[in-house]
């Protein structure tokens, strides 16, 4: 008998059908990868197993865990299971921990509740498991609070809580999506070691095929609440029998066709469009004494680079390396503490807001979060037309609509979309609106801060195509900020690797990523999930 058996699971919330005929089994010590795009029902499947569904949800079918019928189990029995035999790791380590309790308390809490152990014994067990997940007590005492830890360390605490009682099944719902690639690799390694060590079953939910290919023994691919295909990971992903599997695999390795490589190089002698000279940005540090001035924190430390018209450059690095701070300074949303930023010869970093206005037209921005980058109360016409404020002559209402319609057309949307509100669009469409807003003034430089990392793979491929196409047709130069090397490889000519506020390596994208020289770049490249590599390794293991 399998550890977890889901048969014919059907889930409805109100009148909406969420899951249809889900079949899934997990054996002891097996890693099952559950893959699908947002809204495919991955998380709902996991929540059904935990019986943490919303009130109005009705589940039918059979879910058996270790011989227990979960769907008919009373709440008291589920409380015994949750956190004891079934552990769960959530996506967002920021919100999965209680900010007012120490990590020791939070790990010990479950132990005491499930085993009735006294405080001292529970803390002893907590100490052991925290040590196991890489937070030894000497460096991370139990009295630490979550805010004193980094994102990766917090996720380790969450894993410690989930694994403290040696569960038989661990459910990890996008456990590394909020982390950068290096941390992602560390957390995945930890999960794999725990599975091997304890013969746990692991249900790994992810939208990233490369991560799943690397981790999972078997894979289940979901779409619209239904299982499309399931089977042994390497075979399923290399044979790609099901059309949707092929579509997903291709989208996650998609490289847009680009024509401009040559022209960008041909204008190498022209003066640079953007030049960043020895830029420094200090933030006030934490005050340690009332009288002493706090030592500043240097987020960006002497960065210099230049970017030519029409060139596409990636700025990659781990989270917290200063890449977003640098981007804001390039956009003149933040001022450097030292150094100069020149756009088209003008030193924008020294100009006041009024003097900046004509220069702002030449640079625009696309943000990561397609939900947060629009005022929810404005219609698309107003959102996309916002930068028209920068034109010297105010366009008339008709001209304005015309320009918005043009910009929407450029990004593949309909002119009639301008009378809708942003919530009426999907994530990918919103990112198109975001791009339309960025190009409406025909800027020469677009700074894109993780523009595709919140998107599903198939939508990501389309948006990358759009970026490449706009670069070809309009000659827009890009500064692409990303932690995803696949994106950098797909869309940029050159790459700069940033580490702790400095640029430690730069060069042509392919060369740097294939043959990294600096330690920071090597670490990034080694940690980046790669579907081809993972599949090659798996197939080689099987011989």
Is residue 15 a contact residue for another protein (CB under 8 A)?
A: no
Name which of 406, 483, 407, 485 is nearest 446 in CA terms.
407
Write out the E strands in 348-493.
Answer: 363-366, 445-449, 477-482
Give yes or no for residue 361 binding another protein (CB under 8 A): yes
- Closer to another protein by Cβ: residue 60 or 375: 375
Site membership for another protein, residue 13 (CB under 8 A):
no
User: What span, in angstroms and rounded, lies between the C-alpha atoms of 486 and 426?
Assistant: 23
Check binding of 14 to another protein (CB under 8 A).
Answer: no
**Smallest gap, in angstroms, from Cβ of residue 273 to another protein?**
17
Q: Which of 194, 171, 181 is nearest to 96 (CA)?
A: 171
Q: Which of 356, 474, 504, 523 binds another protein (CB under 8 A)?
A: 356
Least separation in angstroms between residue 252's CB and another protein is 16
Q: Which stretch binds another protein (CB under 8 A): 32-40, 80-88, 141-149, 307-315?
A: 32-40
- Side-chain-side CA neighbours of residue 463 (13 Å): 29
Sign of CA dihedral 61, 65, 68, 71: negative
Say how many C-beta atoms besides its own lie within 10 A of residue 294's C-beta: 12
Two structure tokens written together for 137: 């007590």
C-alpha dihedral sign at 316, 319, 321, 323: positive
357 binds another protein (CB under 8 A): yes
SS3 content of the chain, % helix, strand, coil (to 5): 40, 25, 35
Query: Interface with another protein includes 367 (CB under 8 A)?
Result: yes
**Least spacing, CB of residue 444 vs another protein, in Å:** 14
Of 376, 511, 515, 539, the one binding another protein by CB under 8 A: 376
For residue 241, what is the enclosing H or E element? none
Query: Does 90 contact another protein by CB under 8 A?
Result: no
176 part of the interface to another protein, by CB under 8 A: no
Residue 369 sits in the site that holds another protein (CB under 8 A): yes
CB of 453 to another protein, least distance (A): 11
Neighbouring C-alpha atoms within 13 Å toward the C-beta of 406: 13
CA angle, 227 then 203 then 26, to 5°: 75
Asked whether 186 and 218 are in contact (CB, 8 A), the reply is: no
SS3 15: coil
Helix axes 103-115, 119-132, angle to 10 degrees: 120
Tokens of 458: 């198939």
Is residue 281 a contact residue for another protein (CB under 8 A)? no
What string marks each residue from 417 to 456 as x (binds another protein by CB under 8 A) or -?
----x-x----------x--x----------------x--
Any contact of residue 292 with another protein (CB under 8 A)?
Answer: no
89 binds another protein (CB under 8 A): no
The least distance separating another protein from the CB of residue 338, rounded to whole angstroms, comes to 20
Looking only at residues 201 through 230 of this chain, which bind another protein when binding is defined by CB under 8 A?
205, 207
CB of 55 to another protein, least distance (A): 9
Note whether 414 binds another protein by CB under 8 A: no
Considering only 31-39, 76-84, 274-282, 531-539, which stretch makes contact with another protein by CB under 8 A?
Answer: 31-39
d(CA 219, CA 421): 38
363 or 490: CB nearest another protein: 363
For the chain, state the CA radius of gyration: 25
Q: Which residues bind another protein (CB under 8 A)?
A: 36, 38-40, 42-43, 91, 173-174, 177, 205, 207, 328, 331, 333, 353, 356-357, 360-361, 363-365, 367-369, 371-377, 383, 386-387, 389-390, 421, 423, 434, 437, 454
């Amino acid at each position: 008998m399998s550890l977890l058996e889901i048969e014919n699971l059907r889930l409805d919330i109100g009148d909406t059908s969420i899951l249809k005929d889900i079949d899934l089994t997990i054996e002891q010590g097996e890693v099952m990868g559950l893959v699908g795009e947002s809204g495919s029902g991955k998380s709902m499947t996991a929540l059904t197993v935990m019986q943490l569904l919303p009130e109005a949800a009705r589940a039918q079918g059979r879910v058996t865990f270790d011989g227990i019928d979960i769907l008919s189990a009373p709440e008291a029995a589920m409380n015994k299971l949750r956190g004891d035999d079934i552990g769960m790791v959530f996506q967002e380590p920021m919100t999965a921990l209680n900010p007012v309790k120490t990590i020791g308390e939070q790990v010990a809490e479950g132990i005491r509740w499930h085993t009735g152990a006294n405080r001292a014994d529970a803390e002893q067990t907590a100490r052991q498991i925290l040590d196991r997940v890489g937070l030894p007590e000497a460096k991370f005492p139990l009295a630490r609070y979550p805010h004193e830890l980094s994102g990766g360390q917090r996720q380790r605490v969450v894993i410690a809580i989930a694994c403290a009682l040696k569960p038989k099944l661990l459910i990890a719902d996008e456990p590394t999506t909020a982390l950068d690639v290096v941390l992602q690799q560390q957390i995945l390694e930890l999960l794999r070691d725990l599975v091997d060590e304890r013969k746990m079953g692991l249900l790994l939910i992810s939208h990233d095929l490369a991560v799943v290919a690397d981790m999972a023994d078997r894979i289940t691919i979901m779409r619209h609440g239904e299982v499309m295909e399931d089977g042994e990971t390497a075979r399923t992903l290399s044979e790609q029998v099901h059309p949707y599997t092929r579509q997903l695999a291709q989208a996650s390795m998609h490289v847009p066709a680009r024509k401009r490589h040559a022209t960008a190089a041909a204008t190498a002698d022209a003066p640079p469009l953007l030049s960043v000279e020895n830029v420094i940005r200090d933030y006030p540090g934490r005050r340690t004494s009332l009288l002493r001035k706090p030592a500043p924190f240097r987020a960006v430390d002497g960065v210099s680079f230049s970017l030519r018209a029409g060139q596409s450059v990636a700025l990659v690095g781990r989270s917290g390396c200063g890449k977003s701070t640098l981007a804001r300074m390039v956009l003149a949303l933040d001022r450097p503490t030292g150094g100069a930023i020149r756009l088209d010869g003008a030193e924008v970093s020294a100009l006041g807001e009024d003097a900046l206005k004509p220069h702002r037209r030449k640079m625009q921005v696309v943000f990561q979060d397609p939900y947060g980058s629009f005022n929810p109360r404005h219609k698309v016409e107003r959102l996309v037309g916002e930068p028209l404020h920068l034109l010297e002559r105010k366009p008339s209402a008709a001209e304005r609509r015309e320009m918005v319609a043009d910009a929407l057309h450029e990004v593949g949307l309909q002119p009639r979309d301008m009378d809708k509100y942003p919530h009426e669009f999907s994530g990918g469409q919103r990112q198109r609106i975001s791009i339309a807003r960025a190009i409406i003034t025909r800027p020469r430089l677009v700074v894109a801060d993780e523009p595709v990392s919140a998107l599903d793979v198939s939508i990501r491929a389309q948006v990358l195509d759009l970026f490449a196409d706009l670069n070809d047709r309009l000659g827009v130069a890009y500064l692409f900020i990303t932690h995803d090397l696949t994106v950098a490889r797909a869309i940029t000519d050159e790459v700069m690797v940033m580490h702790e506020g400095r640029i430690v390596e730069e060069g042509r994208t392919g060369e740097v990523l294939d043959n990294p020289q600096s330690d920071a770049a090597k670490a990034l490249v080694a940690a980046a999930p790669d579907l081809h590599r993972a599949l090659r390794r798996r197939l080689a293991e099987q011989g």
